[in-house]
Chains A and B, each alone.
Chain A
């Protein structure tokens, strides 16, 4: 279940949206392709409403590179579950960026600061961001509401390139969630 953000203190800087940070870990040996088991692995860490609340949480959770095994951080707008079945995601898609080991923590921080700071300027299109830690590589994803809106997805791509500070030759791939479901890749 999601949690309410704590009361905002005097002097806190409010964010445009409230966000929830989730964590999931694939249990070894278990088949976890169904949304039921994925749902049960999702743990809500915290919902926050201000910059200061974000930093408080962020400084208390392990950074992505410190985690071992197959696990994910999900930072989504409050009220949107980090799964394609959510009504905000069902027509959406994601930009995926595969990263060599060693880059994920810095890139994840760059990505979420851009999301929280409203740097994408695509209205309410951004749903959330995911850091996926895997054995051979790590993957960053940025989810938006409308996969069919090319103007929005290219604008997101340009902002991603600017804020992430990743090598020029990094491959960025866009996938509609409906395609990920069809090819069973996510």
Chain B
């Protein structure tokens, strides 16, 4: 099946999200 793949810059961008604070 399809894997959930994220590149480094997307993972770093999610760090700024309020959900990750």
Chain A contact residues, CB within 8 Å of chain B: 9, 11-16, 51-56, 59, 110, 113-114, 116-119, 163
Smallest Cβ distance from A185 to chain B, in angstroms?
31
- In the complex the two chains form, is B11's CB within 8 Å of A52's CB? no
Query: What is the number of residues of chain B that contact chain A, defined by CB distance less than 8 Å?
Result: 15
For B8, the chain A residues whose CB sits under 8 A away are 110, 113-114, 117, 119, 163
> Are A51 and B20 CB-contacts (below 8 A) given A116-B11, A117-B11?
yes
Chain B contact residues, CB within 8 Å of chain A: 3-8, 10-12, 14-15, 17, 19-21
- In the complex the two chains form, is B20's CB within 8 Å of A52's CB? yes
- In the complex the two chains form, is A52's CB within 8 Å of B4's CB? no
For B3, the chain A residues whose CB sits under 8 A away are 16, 118
Could you tell me the distance between the alpha carbons of A11 and B5 in the complex, rounded to whole angstroms? 17
For A56, the chain B residues whose CB sits under 8 A away are 20-21
- In the complex the two chains form, is B20's CB within 8 Å of A16's CB? no
> Are A13 and B15 CB-contacts (below 8 A) given A52-B20, A56-B21?
no
Smallest Cβ distance from A49 to chain B, in angstroms?
11
For B12, the chain A residues whose CB sits under 8 A away are 113
Known: A11-B19, A117-B10. 9 other contacts (CB 8 A): A16-B5, A55-B14, A59-B15, A59-B20, A113-B11, A114-B8, A117-B6, A117-B8, A118-B5
